Amino acid sequence: MHDPLGEAAQSGGANLAIDPRRLWESLMETARMGGTPKGGICRLALSAADREVRDWLRDACTALGCTMTVDEVGNMFAFRPGRRNDLAPIAFGSHLDTQPTGGKFDGVLGVLAGLEVLRTLDEAGYDTNAPLLLVNWTNEEGARFAPAMLGSGVHAGVFDRAYADARQDRHGVCFGDAIDAIGYRGTAPAGSVRFGAMFELHIEQGPVLEAEGRTVGVVTGVQGMRWYEVSMTGREAHSGSTPMGLRADALLAAARLVTEVHAIALAYGPEAVGTVGSLEVTPNSPNVIPGAVRLTVDLRHPDDAVLGAMEARLQAAVRSLSPDAGLEVLSAKIWDSPAVRFDADCIAAVRSGAAAAGLPARDIISGAGHDAAYIARIAPTSMIFVPSAGGLSHNEAESTTATECAAGAQVLLNAILAYDRAGENR
């Protein structure tokens, strides 16, 4: 008698296939939670919309018989038993929070593709050797509570709970109060949920895969990144009655620094990037010379030594502004994420997963930060990329096709199964 489930077991699950339609329907259903009129999502961490999508995920996982654990900073872990529960679980997932004008796929695809993996295995009655763990990390974006990747950072020991709880949004609301308000302060101590490896599926957020006609990026690492907060304090004065030579214009100094950040990035080769992404001017009136400016600087490079040189030039630029008449300039580094090299066995599992799916793939370094970067400090880790139309992300127009989403989910399933099989001899 033909026994497809028996064949799946004998082949290590090689003929298991995710359901593309079901995955797409999940993506579209959750996109309504915090959905924007322009078709994107505004689902800031620990907001009412975040609580809604967390509840949805919890219910979907428990319906599959998974055990849901939530830790003290809101990280969610759905546990599916394996044939050998003495083995450390294989984790996979990403995040459900978004930018204020975010798209439908950034982070969300990684979580919902992980859910589709669990649904596919459940439907087939297939048990992995090791247990599985679907993860939703808290506050990956850093859009509401800086820094980014806060939940995974606490899990990995980069930050502690007290630091996380004290983070404030622009309205003065603390992370700790916000997580209590939505009811997602779990009882598990941060870092107590352990696993043997982690895979994260994500959209590329860049143009490389699309430009080369590749469906899958095998992510070998993440470039280093450093964030700075710079404040400039001058003197507010009437714009019509204050001569140009007697001004302490904070915005003029800020403009010079913005130009220098651009020059720094150009000076260190095509892999270097520098961005001033946030700028606040006070009092922001048409006929008042700006008395104060606050801005952020984001520097990135795959080589930490080069990134250090970029930082040194930035600090020299900041110091050069201080002598301006009546101007005070202060700079603070608010985030430092070193370059990451992912685990060779996990990378091999992703390559194997893409090959098994017959998909064109290429190795790639992530230009963006991801939870996997922190998790790589404590467990073997790798990532899978699928294309972003036009390289666009952190934008309501962000687009990845249903076919590309399904391809990523299939590679994720294949990589998990390949890593699970290899674990018998690890």
Reported as a single tens digit per residue, the pLDDT across 149-201 is: 999 999 999 999 999 999 999 999 999 999 999 999 999 999 999 999 999 99
Average pLDDT over the chain, rounded to an integer: 94
171 in a labelled binding site:
no
| Banded pLDDT at 368 (limits 50, 70, 90) | confident
Q: Lowest-pLDDT range, 15-24, 91-100, 321-330, 355-364?
A: 321-330
Condensed to tens digits (0 to 9), the pLDDT of residues 43-62 reads: 999 999 999 999 999 999 99
394 in a labelled binding site:
yes
Q: In the chain, what percentage of residues exceed pLDDT 90?
A: 92
Indicate if 134 and 157 belong to the same structural domain.
yes
Q: What is the CATH number of the domain that holds 312?
A: 3.30.70.360
Q: What is the mean pLDDT of residues 129-150?
A: 96
Spatial CB neighbours of 368, under 8 Å, sequence gap ≥ 6: 205, 206, 222, 393
Condensed to tens digits (0 to 9), the pLDDT of residues 305-338 reads: 999 999 999 999 999 987 766 899 999 999 888 9
Range of the domain at 172: 4-223+339-422
pLDDT for residue 369: 86
pLDDT for residue 5: 35
Q: In the chain, what percentage of residues exceed pLDDT 70?
A: 96
187 to each of 88, 190, 208, 246, 379, how far by Cα in Å? 21, 9, 42, 59, 23
Domain termination residue (choose one: 303, 337, 371) = 337
106 in a labelled binding site:
yes
155 in a labelled binding site:
no
97 in a labelled binding site:
no
Q: What is the mean pLDDT of residues 384-407?
A: 97
Indicate if 178 and 315 belong to the same structural domain.
no
SS3 242: coil
Indicate if 331 and 372 belong to the same structural domain.
no
Handedness of CA 358, 359, 365, 366 (dihedral sign): negative
Residue 11 vs residue 219, higher pLDDT: 219
Indicate if 53 and 120 belong to the same structural domain.
yes
pLDDT for residue 326: 81
Indicate if 256 and 361 belong to the same structural domain.
no
Indicate if 188 and 314 belong to the same structural domain.
no
Q: What is the CATH number of the domain that holds 366?
A: 3.40.630.10
pLDDT for residue 8: 43
pLDDT for residue 12: 59
Q: What is the mean pLDDT of residues 6-11?
A: 42
Condensed to tens digits (0 to 9), the pLDDT of residues 100-125 reads: 999 999 999 999 999 999 999 999 99
Indicate if 210 and 238 belong to the same structural domain.
no
Give the separation between CA 375 and CA 378, rounded to whole angstroms. Answer: 6
pLDDT for residue 3: 36
Residue 381 has pLDDT above 80, yes or no: yes
Element (H, E) at 371: helix 371-375
Condensed to tens digits (0 to 9), the pLDDT of residues 122-137 reads: 999 999 999 999 999 9
Domain termination residue (choose one: 307, 337, 367) = 337
Best CA proximity match to 219, nearest among 237, 238, 204, 198: 204
Best CA proximity match to 5, nearest among 119, 124, 118, 117: 124
Domain termination residue (choose one: 286, 318, 337) = 337
pLDDT for residue 383: 98
Please work out, in degrees rounded to the nearest 5, the angle formed at the alpha carbon of residue 203 by the alpha carbons of 74 and 198.
50
Q: What is the mean pLDDT of residues 371-379?
A: 97
Indicate if 252 and 358 belong to the same structural domain.
no
Indicate if 238 and 360 belong to the same structural domain.
no
Query: Number of structural domains, the chain?
Result: 2
Q: Could you tell me the pTM of the whole model?
A: 0.84
